[in-house]
Amino acid sequence: MQLANSSHTVCVPTLCNNMPSRAYLASFLIVTSFLSTTSHLHTLAAAGAFPESDDIFALDIVSKIRTDRNSTIKASMDFGHIVEAIPNGVLHPTSPNDIAALIRLSLSQPKPFTVAPRGQGHSARGQALAPGGVVVDMRSLGHDHHDAGRRCRRINVSTDELWVDVGGEQLWIDVLHTTLEHGLAPRVWTDYLHITVGGTLSNGGIGGQAFRHGPQISNVHELDVVTGTGDMVSCSPDKNSDLFFAALGGLGQFGVITRARIALERAPKRVLWVRLAYSDVPSFTGDQELLISKRSAGGFDYIEGQVQLNRTLTEGRRRSSSFFSASELDQLANLAHGTGSAAIYYIEGAMYYHGDDDTASSSSSAKLERLLEELSFVPGHAFVRDVSYVEFLDRVGRDEQKLRSAGVWDVPHPWLNLFVPRSRIVDFDAGVFKGILRDTKPVGLVLMYPMNRDRWDDRMTAATPDDDVFYAVGLLRSAVAAGDVEQLERENAAVLEFCHRERIGCKQYLPSHASRDGWRRHFGDKWSRFAALKRKYDPRAILSPGQGIFSAAGDGLTDRVASDSSL
């Protein structure tokens, strides 16, 4: 583990005893550079060098930056455990004003330091890291520091206007429980709820309800954003709209989302949770596309799908399931043996209902039976559970506890998420699931489900394929044994190379690109606007450097960024 960016002065002599002289010198220079900067600024402030209106030191921002080794090491890794980047400090803000003050502090330096907001650190490729800069611990905003660390949730519900105002640091699971107290809930959920509102809104926020309501970013009325110029801006489709549409799905490049006003609907009481097995991809995708065409009453309220590679079913490396029983997993394994297909596919659907009595349950079951008659799943392979709404939505949270207990949660996650156009999904299946990954036995999930593109607002910076329907494909695999990371990364590279060679036309979700040209291709026609907005709202390129889209902080941005000739 690198120690070069540890900035706790007490630790320096101790580190010296265990580090080569060159490494110690590098550590010492970084320590003294960061601490001397803050000391110098305090001196200037005491001398009246800053205008009275400047609130940097009124907020005592420097005192809220932790530079001890434990803090910086903790902020140097994300959920992916693939990329490590140690910051020089970690800000623990008590209000959005602190974040604005930190950014202005950075901009006051001859060479600004980078700033990266971090919620739960659930990124997979270092997107929430700030090498040599300052990470903002967004979760600190949810604490009342004057009441023994008691969590003070910034969640306010309007039952009249059907919205909830939520701090960007809040977890979706807390939003769920708070809104349910009023009989309400947001319309769209990610599969995993123990992540922050600001984090998912900076990326898109997709899930099984997106076919009907669009991603989470399509269900926001208003934002508060701290921009890369240190300004605190409220924005909406009618007010500062360019920032509103830029920040939603903007990968943290234009500002830090500190508040979002999110649309609500009446919350159901219970859910008929369904999985339907298929042995061929045309039937599987055909039924999925039929189901997402039913946007009103009469269909599922949630639609996703999974691909179960047969070797994970038939050769004993499958994990226990929070849905399937052991006998049902045996049934699926027998189906895999019997068909000889490279994969078994299943649609995951959910039908909500509002009553919790026998009449409501019977009515919903009858509605489900009518819907299943329209579908072409393998006979005898429809599996149904009747669960509470919360139990359904927090299903991955329960899986997390099992994986933590087994010691396989905090492991590398070389995930790859793609949006694949409907016109090429069968080709993708043939080349990837029946080709590149055919003989693999991954630990984790492979998701595959369609969404309607007209539920995405094209004014936002999020990139999708051009087809009216496209599929979310998630290779959500974990590295649990020696050599797994390298093997999974080679397979990911082979999938991307296949898509490029065969002109599949896919886009990465939660994207990671190694070059400016890769980013230009990713955003396509949106690139020039994306770069122009970056120049406007983060001209020194200090925000979210882990994305790797723009050059290092302090260089500034020029018109050349938006020009293809510079790529």
pLDDT tens by residue, 155-206: 999 999 999 999 999 999 999 999 999 999 999 999 999 999 999 999 999 9
Asked if residue 70 lies in contact with residue 7, where contact means CB atoms within 8 angstroms, the answer is: no
The owner of tokens 């693999």 is 440
User: What amino acid is encoded at 11 in this protein?
Assistant: C
Tell how far CA 121 is from the center of its chain.
9
371-419 pLDDT per residue, tens: 999 999 999 999 999 999 999 999 999 999 999 998 889 999 999 999 9
Residue 435 one-letter amino acid = G
Annotate 422-475 with DSSP letters as a single string: GGGHHHHIIIIIIIITTT---EEEEEEEEEEGGGS-TTSS----SSSEEEEEEE
The Cα 272–Cα 228 span in angstroms is 45
Asked whether the CA dihedral 415, 418, 424, 425 is positive or negative, the reply is: positive
- Side chain identity, residue 12: V
CA distance 175 to 185: 8
Name the residue ranges covered by the structural domains of the chain: 53-142, 155-266, 270-508
CA nearest to 346, candidates 359, 358, 335, 357: 335
Q: How many residues does the chain have?
A: 567
DSSP 469-536: EEEEEEEEEE--STTHHHHHHHHHHHHHHHHHHTT---EEES---SSHHHHHHHHGGGHHHHHHHHHH
State which amino acid sits at residue 220: V
Catalytic residue among 78, 92, 98, 122: 122
Residues near 337 by Cβ (< 8 Å), separated by ≥ 6? 314
Phi/psi at 530 (nearest 5 deg)? -60, -45
pLDDT in tens, the chain (567 residues): 333 333 332 222 222 333 333 333 333 334 444 544 444 444 434 444 344 444 444 358 999 999 999 999 999 999 999 999 999 999 999 999 999 999 999 999 999 999 999 999 999 999 999 999 999 999 999 764 444 444 457 999 999 999 999 999 999 999 999 999 999 999 999 999 999 999 999 999 999 999 999 999 999 999 999 999 999 999 999 999 999 999 999 999 999 999 999 999 999 999 999 999 999 999 999 999 999 999 877 799 999 999 998 777 767 544 557 799 989 989 998 998 888 888 999 999 999 999 878 888 899 999 999 999 999 999 999 999 999 999 999 999 999 999 999 888 999 999 999 999 999 999 999 999 999 999 888 889 999 999 999 999 999 999 999 999 999 999 999 999 999 999 999 999 999 999 999 999 999 999 999 999 999 999 999 999 999 999 999 999 999 999 999 986 555 554 334 333 332
Tell me whether domains 53-142 and 155-266 share a fold: no
Closest-CA residue to 516 (of 544, 541, 549, 538):
549
Q: Are 201 and 244 in contact (CB under 8 A)?
A: no
Closest residue by Cα to residue 449 from 304, 279, 291: 304
Confirm whether 191 is a catalytic residue.
Answer: yes
Q: Mapping DSSP to helix (H, G, I), strand (E, B) and coil, where does residue 242 land? A: helix
CATH class of the domain whose range is 53-142: alpha beta
Q: Residue 326: how many CB atoms within 10 A of its CB?
A: 9
Q: Which residues, 6+ apart, have CB-to-CB distance to 314 below 8 Å?
A: 333, 336, 337
Q: Specify which residues 418 forms β-bridges with.
A: 473, 508
* Distance between CA atoms of residues 385 and 349, nearest Å: 11
Give the DSSP letter of residue 552.
Answer: P
Query: Residue 360, SS3?
Result: helix
Q: Which residues contact 380 (CB under 8 A, 6 or more apart)?
A: none
Q: Is 304 a catalytic residue?
A: yes
Q: Which of 78, 169, 224, 304 is catalytic?
A: 304
Q: What are the distances in angstroms from CA 351 to CA 321, 371, 386, 463?
A: 21, 10, 10, 29
Give the C-alpha separation, 189 to 207, whole Å. 6
The residue annotated as part of the active site, out of 174, 191, 491, 538, is 191
The residue with tokens 């036995």 is 441
- Of 118, 116, 101, nearest to 60 by C-alpha is 101
Q: What is the 3-state secondary structure (H, E, C) of 253-312?
A: CCEEEEEEEEEEEECCCEEEEEEEEECCHHHHHHHHHHHHCCCCCCCCCEEEEEEEEHHH
What tokens were used for 134?
């300052």
- Identify any residues that bridge with 473 across adjacent strands, giving them in sequence order: 418, 448
CA–CA separation, 157 and 137 (whole Å): 25
Supply the CATH classification number for the domain 155-266.
Answer: 3.30.465.10
CATH topology of domain 270-508: Vanillyl-alcohol Oxidase; Chain A, domain 3 (3.40.462)
Residue 367 burial class via C-beta count within 10 angstroms: exposed 0-12, middle 13-18, buried 19 and up: middle
Question: Any idea which residue has 């699971």 for tokens?
Answer: 173
CB 252 within 8 A of CB 117: yes
Query: For helices 516-523 and 527-537, what crossing angle results, to 10°?
Result: 110
| Six token digits for residue 155 | 């969640």
pLDDT of res. 461 = 94
How far apart CA 6 and CA 88 sit, in angstroms, is 7
How distant is the alpha carbon of residue 259 from its chain centre?
17
Closest CA to 255 of 140, 132, 136, 124: 136
Among 121, 115, 119, smallest CA distance to 100 is for: 115
- Pull the structure tokens for residue 419: 């949006």
